[in-house]
A and B are shown apart, each in its own frame.
Chain A
Amino acid sequence: MDELVTEFLTETNESLQELDLDLVNLEQNPNDKDLLSKIFRLMHTIKGTCGFLGLPRLETCAHHAENVLGLFRDGVLKVTPDYVTIIFESIDRIKYILSEIEQNGAEPDGDDRELIARLDAIYENAQGKASTDSMEDISKAFIEPGPDPEEEEEEVKAGEDIKPAPAAHAVTVADSDEDEEDDSSGVVPDAAKMVARESAVANQSLRVNVAVLEGLMTMVSELVLTRNQLLQILRSQQESEFTAPLQRLNHVVSELQEGVMKTRMQPIGNAWSKLPRIIRDISMELGKKIDLEMHGKDTELDRQVLELIKDPLTHMVRNSADHGIEAPEERARAGKPATGKIVLNAYHEGGHIIIEISDDGKGLPMERIKKKIISNGLATAEELAEMSTQQIQQFIFKAGFSTAEKVTSVSGRGVGMDVVRTNIEKIGGSIELKSIEGRGSKFLIKIPLTLAIVSALIVEAAGERFAIPQLAVRELVKASYSGENRIETIKGSPVFRLRDHLLPLVSLRDVLGLSHMNDAGESASEPASDKQYIVVTQIGAYHFGIIVDRVYDTEEIVVKPVANILKNIDLFSGNTILGDGSVIMILDPTGIAKATGEIDHADTMDVAEEEARHSERDERLTLLLFGAGKGAPKAVPLSLVARLENIKIEAIETSNDQMLVQYRGKLMPLVLFNEKVSLEGVEEKPVLVFQDEKSAMGLIVDAIIDIVEEKMDVEIGGKNKGLLGSAIINGKATDVIDVGWYLRSTGNDWYRMEKNPYGKNGNGASARKRVLLVDDSPFFRNMLTPLLSVAGYDVTTVESPLDALKLCESESHHFDVIVSDIEMPEMSGFEFAEKVRASSHWQDTPLVALSSHATPQDIDRGRAAGFQQYVAKFDRDTLLNTLSETLASNGKAAQ
């Protein structure tokens, strides 16, 4: 059944149930104004909604009843018991129709002419002789039954005990026994059943006051905090009889928390339900042809968040339709299909919801924006000349841009975009914009799943701890005022060279005025120590660093609003209670950015520059160096490592010749890096954890040495199993390990578990999806092949696109998906993609690009060349997910 209809049924049934109680009162106080207006309102709502939903019978019925009720409400007619009966009848009829709709999804056959005739009689009578008290005339309406003789017969039979008997049809049947019903007439509703039938739709869901849910949520939050406290106490104790019950409590609380969170979740489709109508109206009004595609309707997010983004979303879609999509003729001139397309897409990504709104319209008109910027005095022509396209586009989010009159004619996208941005940022989200003039625009909104519980990094400045929402934190850098990683100052403003970019810094002490606040007597020791940490923070596209004294752990925190007294301090977005019971303030990165001066999105780093930086860093990899046994240090790409743990030797158990450890509530197989790694004589050992959605394995090594960023030149000499070869890292010969080999060495379990989530329809080798991997770097070929094969793919690798095209020409090879590098010597990935698309044999094979720099520009270019997906190299999970998604969606498309 249509979702709208279901909602309507639930709502109406509820209102009717409520009325049932009141109706008894109505009988006693027939002229209760409040009650009458309540019934009137209900009828009115039903009538209105029916018109919208296309339920003519219900609408007519409600309409006529409403007319009469209006008279009562306005005091034109005095309510008598006779009238009460007819009100009852109308309500019962409506109930009957509703239950039929619920049952069959459509209105029942038959009509309500008789009931309507009587209602009309009352109405017309009253209208005609409103002044005269012509009760008799009106009463006639009750006595003279409707035109349907058959119905009359039925009614007489059923309704002996009710006063104006022939007319009291619906009420009567309601009172009658079920076996009294007469099945001779199809017109007469099967009413007894209808009354007995409780609304099933209404019973499936329960409306709960939001306040109750909020209360529950608060309570659960408290419980979570208390649990954390208990666990913290437990950790400090060696052996405790509380261990087991606390573990159980831990699980129950986690589940409870999840459950309560779920009650607050709603599919984003709820916020979208009005959009098709809006688009339709706009397209009718403006003579445009627009298709609205909505993907990921079922993506769920917190009710509170949903409420907050509903309006901005509607606004943006309306903008896309209004200003983005061109009129059909214009589209035809531009060589586009006459029907424009607006695509909404929502999906989860690492604790966030991403909502994309894209259209294939005309994009942002740069010239007009520039003119507007200059005329509004937001920047000078000279300044504009130096800005990148993206920087200029960001101006549409400026407040000054929308308040100007006739914005629509100027920017095409200006109306209230600043409001949209503010609203989204208010809930810790961000909005990005990509637009190519003539090709369309795309907005990317990233919002947190829930506002109630966030993951935050705990930092310290001047002896005070603060929480920074993890969402804004990009990375952490250890720095100092002297020495290698130096914080430099330009006229007192600290900056830091982060890779090849100058990062503006803010000292948390200064911004919070903590250096002056030390009145507690502790000597306000300016920079407490030389060692400082920089929390690299990102707001939209703006990066800056926050200097803090210490960095603790990340913690899941329950955000509580600050007291009213503190509402005007923008630096705090809330406060919370940590596991140890202390109160801590939550910093608002946006507020900090603002406090450091007027920071605009336009000030963000130049895209071209960023790109240049990226290509320079091309092939540079973050590697984890570790020692195992004697000989050269070992290296593994950090992105493949899920976690580093120290595992106590005594916690290691052996089962079936396999070392296991209980890890996060599950058993994790452990493997010694090699036989030289010994477990003797130490209490604990460092373990690299490789993790997947379902399973994890640990690799026991001797020591973690360092994390470095290096260009990798693997000289293949992989004689030893488990080694890809050697490379010079940090000036030393280092063995690069083959993670795939270790993954497989934990036995079949890993294999099986891995295969299911990714090899979706893989039941047996024949169904394994075939992947063609094109990459010039032997290192990546060697790294990815095992990864993909353990994930259940059949992998073929080639060194260059040319080889791949040869395979293509030979026409004897078929692949389900092609994964290709972008930067390759003889032919770039983009060219390759175009060739593949142009080929006859592989034109429909999905292409996934793999690159070490995935800037929006690259992604766009990749899309244009024919890649479906663009994945950053070394992002194992995304690659696997992307592959399975691509295959799944392709499979669907093929059907």
Chain B
Amino acid sequence: MTSAKRKDFLDEHDLENQGHELNEDFLTLYISNQLFGIPVLQVQDVLGTQRVTRIPLAPPEVAGALNLRGRIVTAIDVRKRLGIGGERKTGSQMSVVVEHGGELYSLIIDRVGDVLSLSREEFENNPPTLDQQWREISLGIYRLKKELLVVLDVAKVLNTVHE
């Protein structure tokens, strides 16, 4: 756990540092029409619909396991993790592969958007009224022109899954 914590710290730290200097690049993605962003450097792969093997008895947010070029990747249903109800449209599912603690995880989301370079000036901390569950996994908000982007804290998304 300590290593995970350290990693959290580092991630945040990185984010701040980069924020001070320049823009940071985010891969944007949609889950149920909400825009999210993951720092692009954390993203290993973007996958289309994959054949996922279900894992019985696993926590509900674990959608299963899939084979990514010979490595076994655990698929996490981010919808369930974030408590977003509703069914996603079938066939349009995509996932973003990230590495955490030496293991690969694929975050199942609805759709991947563009890579955006965002300026630190547009960044805001989580509004205090944000849903508790979301506040845990959000590193903050970017004000985009048309909409708001929630920065996903990948480590947190995966960490709570562990517990």
Contacts and interface: CB of A to CB of B under 8 A. Distances in A.
Nearest to A566: B58
Contact of B59 (A512, A514, A565, A585): A565
A247 to B, nearest CB: 22
Given A575-B72, A577-B72, A583-B72, A566 B67 contact: no
Given A582-B67, A583-B72, A569 B54 contact: no
Main secondary structure of the interface of B (DSSP, over half): mixed
Given A563-B103, A582-B67, A583-B66, A571 B57 contact: yes
Given A564-B103, A564-B162, A577 B56 contact: no
A569 B58 contact: yes
Nearest to B161: A565
Question: Which 4 residue pairs of A and B lie closest in terms of their CB atoms, listed nearest first?
Answer: A512-B56, A222-B70, A563-B74, A583-B65
A582 B51 contact: yes
Contact of B54 (A517, A560, A565): A517
Contact of A513 (B57, B59, B103): B57
Contacts of B103: 563-564
A226 interface: yes
Contacts of A584: 53
Contacts of A512: 56-57
B101 interface: yes
Contacts of B59: 565
Contacts, number: 62
Given A563-B72, A565-B59, A585 B53 contact: yes
Interface in B31-60: 51-59
A581 interface: yes
A226 B103 CA distance: 21
Given A465-B53, A512-B57, A585-B56, 17 more contacts: A464-B53, A512-B56, A513-B56, A563-B72, A563-B103, A563-B105, A564-B162, A565-B58, A566-B58, A566-B62, A569-B57, A576-B72, A577-B67, A577-B70, A583-B65, A583-B66, A585-B55
Interface of B: 51-59, 62, 64-67, 70, 72, 74, 101, 103, 105, 158, 161-162
Contacts of A513: 56-57
A575 B56 CA distance: 13
Contact of B56 (A514, A581, A583): A514
A564 B67 contact: no
27 contacts: A464-B56, A465-B53, A512-B57, A514-B56, A563-B65, A563-B72, A564-B103, A565-B58, A565-B59, A565-B62, A565-B74, A565-B161, A566-B55, A566-B58, A566-B62, A566-B74, A569-B55, A571-B56, A575-B65, A575-B72, A576-B72, A577-B70, A577-B72, A581-B67, A582-B51, A582-B53, A584-B53
A171 interface: no
A569 B57 CA distance: 7
A649 to B, nearest CB: 38
Contacts of B51: 582
* Residue from A513, A564, A581 whose CB has the most chain B CB atoms within 10 Å: A564
Nearest to B104: A563
Contacts of B56: 464, 512-514, 517, 571, 585
A225 interface: yes
A583 B54 CA distance: 9
Interface in A681-702: none
B72 A565 contact: no
A576 B71 CA distance: 9
Contacts of A581: 67
Contacts of B101: 564
Nearest to A512: B56
Nearest to A465: B53
Interface string A503-528: 00000000011100100000000000
Contacts of B161: 565
B6 to A, nearest CB: 16
B57 to A, nearest CB: 5
A576 B65 CA distance: 10
A571 B58 CA distance: 11
